[in-house]
Structures are given as structure tokens and as C-alpha cells.
Amino acid sequence: MTSVSATPRAVTDWARGAVGSATDNAWVRFAVRRLERLIVSVWVLLTAAFAMIHLIPGDPVRAVLGPTASPQLVQAKRHDLGLDQPLYRQYGHYLHGVFTGDFGTSLGSGLPVSQVISQRLPATLELAVLAFAVAVLLAIPIGVLMSVLTRGGRARRTELTFTSTSVVLGAIPEFLLAVALVYVFGVNLGWLPVAGRSGPDSYILPVLSLAIGPAAVLARIVRVEMLAVLQADFVRTARAKRLRAAAIYLKHALPNAVTATLTLGGLLLSAMVAGTVLVENVFAWPGLGSTIVQSILAKDYPLVQGIVFVYGIGVLAVNLVVDVALALLDPRSAIRES
């Protein structure tokens, strides 16, 4: 009943079929599918970043220069930014720029956007990666321990304490936590620095403020997933095999709980990437987060565009890593067709 037509769908079907027949391997198919999705996502991201400026109601150039600037100045600036060209030409120019590393020039500082970004990116990257590591290293052992202790309705008081603590911690947004930590450790106790990025101890508070909330949420998720997995039929089989308790929890239950945790963990990590924006503002951290806020307020659109794009790529990279890890841990998910 369905007729074959030369639509893009048919072309991709054919391409997929061709590649599939070349190597009828589930892994290759998975890699191809994933790559496909990545390319499309990047393209959507680029287009969105490009469109962002053009969707702003009103005239962006005038917004930058102010209402009192003369029409000639506005016109000159518009020509400077290439905004007087037809849309598709601008789009082509933009894409070309992205692939050659030219993201335009910052209106505020006059420096190339790529330079500003590459100066500020390492600080943000460090923060995000460290926070993620801390969150995972805290959450997984605590979550597993809690699930073992509280399974089948045991240790109600422990469960209540754990749940309420993690709920409260998870409900505090990172910037509030940051402010609270600044108050306690910076103002009151004076133990740790609260601004800027200098020695190792200047990392502690920013990383903690980023990591604690997600760690609490993740620990709770790990516990819930472990409890669910412990109910699964194959765990019953493992118990019927009379394996040692540790073997059942760590070798059978945990790997299967991790796969479900990983998806949510990926979301948390992406949220953490966004959280750097807020935390950097509290600690005056020299990263992309503080820059983007200033540039939005200053209407420095090329810079905003560039930073939005970089953040987007970061999120896509996280998703890719999560998907690959998932595929490695759970072979079925790689086989599953979309």
C-alpha cells in the first residue's frame, strides 16, 4: 500500500540499507544511526543559534547602538555585521564561518569571538567535569548502600532520613547553595576563597555547589533503580543460585541499575553544564557562564551566539557519551531500532 517515492526518507532508507548490507553488524548500524542523529542535532543547533538573532523583535543593531544613533551609523554597522545581505546568504556565511572557526567579532571588546571563547572555556570545562566526577563518586556508593539497607521496607528511619535529606538538597538550586556556602565558609568561617579561580582551594566551593544537588538527586535515583532491579526476575534467579549477597548486588543488580541511571545521569550532567552559568556568576569564576550573562545584558549578539553554540555542543557531546556508554553496558539498547 505504501508506494516508493524519491523522498528524502526513501534516500536515507536506501543509504541505511546500503550501509547495513555492507556490514550486517548491529554495532555498525548503531554507530551510523547515532552519527546521523548527531549531525542532525548539530545542524538544528547551528540553525537555532543563527535564527536567534533574527527572531528578536525589533532591530538588533539599533538595540546595540541605542535610539539616538544616526541612521548612517546604524546602516554602517548593519553593513559591518553583514545584516543587510539576504537571509540565505547570511546563513551560508555563518555556516562557513563556523566550519572555519570564525564566529564573528564581539561587539563589546572587538576581539574575535573564538578568541574570547577559547580564553574562557577551560575554566568552565574544569568546573563541569570536576563537579560531575564528584557527583558520581558520591552518588553511586551512597545510593547502592541505601538500597541494600532499605530493601523490602527495612530500616524505615534510615530511609526517611536519607530521602528527606536528598529531597531537600536536591531542591536547592545550585546558585542558592553557592550563596549559602559563600556565607558559611567565606563570610563566617573564612576558610575558603569565594571569588575567582586561583589555587586548588578556590575550586572547592564552586565544585561543591554544582555537585551537591545533582549528587543528592542521583543517589536517590540509584537507590530507586537498585530497588527496582532487585525485584527483577533475573535477580531472583541469582538468589536461587545461592550466590553471595555482595555478588548479587554488585555483579548482577548494579550493572542493570546503572543503565537506567545513566539516562537520567546524562540529563543531570547536561543540567550541570547549564548550572555553571549560575555558579560562575556567584563566584566570579572566569568562565563562559559569567561572560554570557554580561553579553546578553550588553546585547553583544555575536558573542551570545557563539557561547550558546558552544554550550549546545557540550550538551550534545554529553548525550553522545551517555548513549555510547549505555550501548556498551546494555547490548540490547544498541540493537533496538529507533
Partner 1 sequence: MAELRFEDVTVRFGSGRRALTAVDGVQLTVPSGGVVGLVGESGSGKSTLARAAVGLTPLAGGRILLDGVPVRPSAGRRPMQMVFQDPYSSLDPRMRIGDSVAEALPRRGPEAVTGSARRAEVARLLELVDIDPARAGHYPAQLSGGQRQRVALARALAGRPDVIIADEITSGLDVSIQGTVLNLVRDLQRQLGMSLLFISHNLAVVRYVASSIAVMYLGRIVEHGPTDQVLNDPQHPYTRDLLAAVPDTGGAGMLDEPHPDPRVRAVADAEPADPHAPPPGCRYHPRCPIGPLVLADREICRITEPSTDHRHHAACHFATAKDTAEIGSTS
Partner 2 sequence: MTATSTTTVAPSEPVIRAPRSGPAARWLAVLRTPVGASAGLLLAAVLIMAVLAPILWTDDATKIDTSAIGQGSSSAHWVGTDALGRDLFFRVLVATRLSIGLALLATLIAVGAGLILGTLPALVGRRLGRLVTALVNIAVAFPGLLLALFFAVIFGIGAKGAVLAIGFAGAPAFARLAQTLVAGVSERDYIAAARVAGVGRFRIVLRHVLPNIAEPLVVNATIGAGGALLGFAGLSFLGLGVQAPSYDWGRLLGEGLNGIYVHPAAALAPGVAVVIAGLAFNLFGEAVAKGLGQSVVVGHLPPLPRRRPARADGTEQAAQAASDSDTVLDVRDLTVTFPGPAGPVRPVRGVTLSIRRGEAVGVVGESGSGKSLTALALAQLIEEPGRVEAARLDFLGTDLTAGARAHRHLLGTKFAMVFQDPMTSFNPSRRIGGQLAELVREHGGLSRAEARTRAVDRLRAVRVPAPERRARQYPHEFSGGMRQRAMIALGMMGAPALIVADEPTTALDVTVQRQVLRLLDSIRTADDVAILLISHDVAVVGQVCERVLVMYAGRIVEDLPSAELLTGALHPYTRALVAAVPDMRTDLHQPLAVIPGRPVSPAEQPRGCAFAPRCPLATDKCEQEDPALVAHGPGHFVACWHAHG
Per CB under 8 A, residues contacting partner 2 are: 9, 40-41, 44, 48, 52-53, 55-57, 152-154, 167-168, 171-173, 175-176, 179-180, 182-183, 186-187, 232-234, 236-244, 247, 252, 255-256, 259, 267, 270-271, 273-275, 277-278, 281-282, 292-293, 296-297, 301, 304, 308, 311-312, 315-316, 319, 329-332, 335
Closest separation in Å from C-beta 179 to partner 2: 5
Closest separation in Å from C-beta 202 to partner 2: 17
Closer of 100 and 187 to partner 2 (Cβ): 187
> From the list partner 1, partner 2, none, which binds 16 (C-beta under 5 to 8 Å, kind-based)?
partner 1
Closer of 96 and 336 to partner 2 (Cβ): 336
Binding footprint of partner 1 on the chain (CB under 8 A): 1-2, 13-14, 16-17, 20-21
> From the list partner 1, partner 2, none, which binds 315 (C-beta under 5 to 8 Å, kind-based)?
partner 2
> From the list partner 2, partner 1, none, which binds 13 (C-beta under 5 to 8 Å, kind-based)?
partner 1
Closest separation in Å from C-beta 180 to partner 1: 45
Closer of 13 and 84 to partner 1 (Cβ): 13
SS (H, E, C) the chain: CCCCCCCHHHHHHHHHHHHHHHCCCHHHHHHHHHHHHHHHHHHHHHHHHHHHHHHCCCCHHHHHHCCCCCHHHHHHHHHHCCCCCCHHHHHHHHHHHHHHCCCCECCCCCCEHHHHHHHHHHHHHHHHHHHHHHHHHHHHHHHHHHHHHHHHHCCHHHHHHHHHHHHHHHHCCHHHHHHHHHHHHHHHCCCCCCCCCCCCHHHHHHHHHHHHHHHHHHHHHHHHHHHHHHCCHHHHHHHHCCCCHHHHHHHHHHHHHHHHHHHHHHHHHHHHHHHHHHHHHHHCCCCHHHHHHHHHHCCCHHHHHHHHHHHHHHHHHHHHHHHHHHHHHCHHHHHCCC
Closest separation in Å from C-beta 260 to partner 1: 24
Closer of 56 and 75 to partner 2 (Cβ): 56
Closer of 14 and 43 to partner 1 (Cβ): 14
Closer of 21 and 100 to partner 1 (Cβ): 21
